[in-house]
Structure 1
Amino acid sequence: MPLPESPFRSPALAALDAAARALLAPGFWALNQLLDLRPTTAERRRRRQSPCGWCRGCAAWALAGPVLAVLLLLSLPVTALGLLLWLPLQAARSPFVYQHTAAAAPAKPWDLRQRRTFTFLSANLCLLPSGLAKFSNLGQTPQRAADIARRLVPAAPDPDSDRAGLVEPRHRGANGYGGTRGTERSIAVEMPEVERPMMETPLMEPPEPPEPELPPPLSESFPPDADILCLQEVFDAAAATCLRRRLGRVFPHIISEVGTGGLCRGRLRLLGSGLFLASRFPVLAAAFHSFPNGAREDAMADKGLLLVQVLLGSARHRRVVGYIGCTHLQAPAGDGAVREAQLTLALRWLQQFQQEQEQSGDVVAFDVLCGDLNFDNCSRADQLNQRHQLFKVYQDPCRRAPGQDEPWAIGTLLNYLEIYEEPVSTPEKMKRTLSSPSGRRQFLAGPILTSGQPDATFPGPWRGRRLDYVVFRPRPPLHTDVAAVSFITRLAMCSDHLPVALSLHVVPGAP
């Protein structure tokens, strides 16, 4: 079936949905403005530094707060009418919208006789409505969306900057992990041996004595040659439109507005999934599956798994294809059992989608899963998720074993109360700060207990919580090897997560 290019196939249903959203708009605006009165740490600092700043802030609360509360109460009857119209329409809505921009330059088809490098980027952007974003110490969603879109669109490669935004690996020599190569400007770190069977790796505690600190593979720029972008928390409709418009100049194929609202299994979902995918390669098929077990505040969003099959080329009348999954799991720290079930569903859906879409003779070049999994590989509270079967099927290049990351891997979740501090206020400063152990300890979120509180007795070494993953599954007869990994600081002061990039070398046959 053709991919849907609008949320509703019927113009009449689209008109009814527009009318429902118009009725919902006054109440949504008043609630968002009311929540937006909560100041970020940057706004508090500006008030402290300004004469009578606190007085003006308190006056704004005292005047605007009651007015917005009254407007919200007055809008409730109209909001209820809009909700009654909006809810049943969601059952007829497409689970995603596909955009094809013919003006964007497509990727060159792959000649199977040559090695090809594919680059994937995953980023949590925290693009919720401004009032909700304030709970993560982020606001001004329209401005941040425009800024993020400008930073995401790759510029022309600069031979003097981080080798196109990725950090190349080096193999282990006689002395183990190496430092830098004299002929390269980038930090060289070892990647894991991808052939290593993950299922045979037992749960291990951090080694004693601890391994020496290695410089993390940090980059202050996005890879300009990225083939696939997998984004999370693009909940705000205006932000999604901004991203589509900007990214459409470079990525011809975009899937957005993923997930539906409405009533499902007795739950009221007011937000979509927040997932967003941009590809240089043509999309052959796509599907979205909702997680049925969202709990607490996450139950208000239609979180799930987006599945995409792309066409990379052809060889002897055989299709060369790739598979990408993009997901965002349950967030609260104590919900490890919920995430465990979601991981099991995701693994099943990945396998089912590929079985349904593969045709006889297909050559699969890559099989990649990206997303914010909301657990790390260091916190003792996350041990249940660290041992999931998914990591026996898909390989995580940043991980050695359950509970033990590679020495150069670092956390991707920032300390949200520190994101506006001077040492991490620009991509360049953040890269310099996070290159040091003391900087990572101050500005990255640390290991947690099941309650969500910091783990003060964590034995170390301490590298922060790595919630954002790009994992892959080799697909014979092609050979897949890790070419590069990078943690990217480009979104300084725009998000509370570090994006992650993975580059894979794919070559025909055995090495």
Structure 2
Amino acid sequence: MLYKTAFPISLLQYLFYISEVALYPVVWTVNQLTSPFLISTKEDHWDLEIIIKKLLYPPLIILFLSIFGIPAIFGVVLRCLLHLFRRPYVLSVEKSFHPPSINERRASISVGRLHPDGRRNSLLSKSLSKTFTISSANLCLLPELLSRINNLPNTGHRSWMIGERIVIDQFFFKNSMNSIQSFSPISRKNSGTSRSEKTAVEPGHNILTHFPKLDFLCLQETWDRDYSHKLMSELHKVFPWILYDVGKTNLLTNRFMLNSGLMLASKYEILDADFHPYTDSFSQCIYSSKGLLMTKVLLSSTEHHDEVGYIFTTHLQAYQGMEDIIQKQLDEILSWTKKFREESLKSEDIVIFDVLCGDFNFDNISPIDEPCTRHKLFDVYEDLCRISPGQDQDWTIGTEMRQMCLWENQISSPEGLKEALEDPILRHRYVVDGNIKDGTMREICKTKPLDDEDVRTKLIDVSGKRRIDYILYRKDTPLTVQNFSFVTRLATLTDHIPVTMTFSSQQ
């Protein structure tokens, strides 16, 4: 079932607005007036403006909290009660877009991807060739206070800039650059054969400074509702269908705090969607509704059948250390994806692809992550970037950046970041290595890059190789992967390297 409103009745939505208004002054005070005390590495501790703010803001914080504290308590209580009736996601369809009925689609042998104004557009229609491009990106759109802890201040500005850069690439760079036609495709057919028996042609792979033309965009950490709405307003310029505000909020799932942070934008009509929060989490993840967003999209339609695709996006437990939380979450992914397909697949449907992507928070080569790399999920879904558990393709790079180095000049532009990712020594400085032993926040986020050149040379095989952002596809659904890319377009806007995959169907 698709939900286009957050609540089943409008009265509950109005009450939720009231709770948000009551909370806003305190939330703004905590996020904005505490910012001088959480300085990012791009800011100067001794800047005169910051010093003045440190002197003036504490009295203002006390004043605002004393004035707005009681209304905020009312807002918190009301918000918690209303969340018990809130739906697990909201589907937003671009207002000027009016999709045709199923009969109209079949009568015209219509294509699932449409221009936002509702008219067929041959320039936007590629489904006849059944070629698609999907991207996954972690954006770190947390409330300002938490974003600053991650060395990524000015979340409101970042959310707008992220949307703008993605949209600009869709309009101006889709035909002039990032062409993937010259790369050799790799065929992935599952006929019970081993990997060695599969076609041995390598896929195209590269590091891009701009996003290619996208059909689907899967996002993680769009946690702040206000900032995610800014992002969504930009993305709607090119993506008619967007699933946002995803998550289930209650005392057990997330302590009434953050939602899942997941968002999915699509140029194809979304037919069905569902969300399940993970049953196991610990540490800081108990305050967010991390889970699996499941989506079915219409790719094309004829008189006799519909061609559909399945997209699953997720964000797994962070910094699990010696725990086995991620393994349990992977078990749930296998169960939920199977159940969603069984419940949503109709007799007239032909499945063109089944893709699973997101921030998995483990890589394929670190010692601490070995149990995850051997999980049975990888018997069902194919990871193009890996050769076997513990061994990645030579051309892969890490996607988790060192937060303390985010504002250095070398990686302040997409071109500079691309240059750093192509150099193993520079990559070691800016991307976490694939040699994590403890899996703790301290080891992953606080470990400094090495200055000793001899030591860095010894780490060349794992240098900047912590790849935690994945795009996987189901092995029993034949695909030809044309290209896999790491994208530097969001330099200075997030602490992850987005990934994209272009593929065609063999149906």
**TM-score, length-normalised on structure 2?**
0.84
CA shift digits 1:104-154 (9 cap, x unpaired): 716879899x64211100000111111110111001111111110101111
Residue 394 of structure 2 is aligned to residue 407 of structure 1: yes
Contact kept? 2:80, 2:256, Cα under 8 Å: no
Query: Where do residues 192-341 of structure 1 align in structure 2 (5 Å cutoff)?
Result: 195=190, 217-224=206-213, 226-264=214-252, 268-334=255-321, 336-341=323-328
Contact kept? 2:396, 2:465, Cα under 8 Å: no
Query: Where do residues 65-104 of structure 1 align in structure 2 (5 Å cutoff)?
Result: 65-69=58-62, 71-72=64-65, 75-101=68-94, 102-103=96-97
Match of 1:148 in 2: 162
Contact kept? 1:27, 1:75, Cα under 8 Å: yes
Distance of 1:301 and 1:483 partners within structure 2 = 36
Given residue 470 of structure 1, which amino acid in structure 2 is its aligned partner? Answer: I
Distance of 1:14 and 1:135 partners within structure 2 = 32
Residue 396 of structure 2 is aligned to residue 388 of structure 1: no
Residue 372 of structure 2 is aligned to residue 372 of structure 1: no
Contact kept? 2:319, 2:439, Cα under 8 Å: no
Contact kept? 1:336, 1:382, Cα under 8 Å: no
Given residue 425 of structure 2, which amino acid in structure 1 is its aligned partner? Answer: S
State the 1:249 CA deviation: 1.6
Given residue 72 of structure 2, which amino acid in structure 1 is its aligned partner? Answer: T
Change in Cα spacing, 1:320 to 1:216, as seen in structure 2 (3 Å) is closer
Q: How many residues align?
A: 462
Contact kept? 1:364, 1:475, Cα under 8 Å: no
Given residue 225 of structure 2, which amino acid in structure 1 is its aligned partner? Answer: A
CA shift digits 1:379-405 (9 cap, x unpaired): 111111111111110001111111111
Change in Cα spacing, 1:451 to 1:470, as seen in structure 2 (3 Å) is closer
Match of 2:137 in 1: 123
Given residue 504 of structure 1, which amino acid in structure 2 is its aligned partner? Answer: F
Contact kept? 1:251, 1:279, Cα under 8 Å: yes
Contact kept? 1:365, 1:475, Cα under 8 Å: no
Match of 1:207 in 2: none
Given residue 266 of structure 2, which amino acid in structure 1 is its aligned partner? Answer: S
Change in Cα spacing, 1:422 to 1:361, as seen in structure 2 (3 Å) is same
Task: Flag as ranges the 4+ runs of structure 1 deviating above 4 A.
Answer: 106-112, 166-169, 191-201, 454-460
Distance of 2:56 and 2:237 partners within structure 1 = 44
Change in Cα spacing, 1:507 to 1:71, as seen in structure 2 (3 Å) is same
**TM-score, length-normalised on structure 1?**
0.84
Match of 1:495 in 2: 494
Unaligned runs of 5+ in 2: 98-113, 197-203
The Cα RMSD (Å) is 2.8
Q: Which secondary structure does the structure 2 equivalent of 1:217 belong to?
A: strand
What is the aligned-residue identity percentage? 33
State the 1:158 CA deviation: 5.5
Q: Which secondary structure does the structure 2 equivalent of 1:285 belong to?
A: strand
Contact kept? 1:219, 1:487, Cα under 8 Å: yes
State the 1:5 CA deviation: 1.7
Distance of 1:158 and 1:292 partners within structure 2 = 41
CA shift digits 1:415-467 (9 cap, x unpaired): 11111111111111111221111121111112322153269999661242111
Contact kept? 2:174, 2:212, Cα under 8 Å: no
Contact kept? 2:22, 2:72, Cα under 8 Å: yes
State the 1:36 CA deviation: 2.1
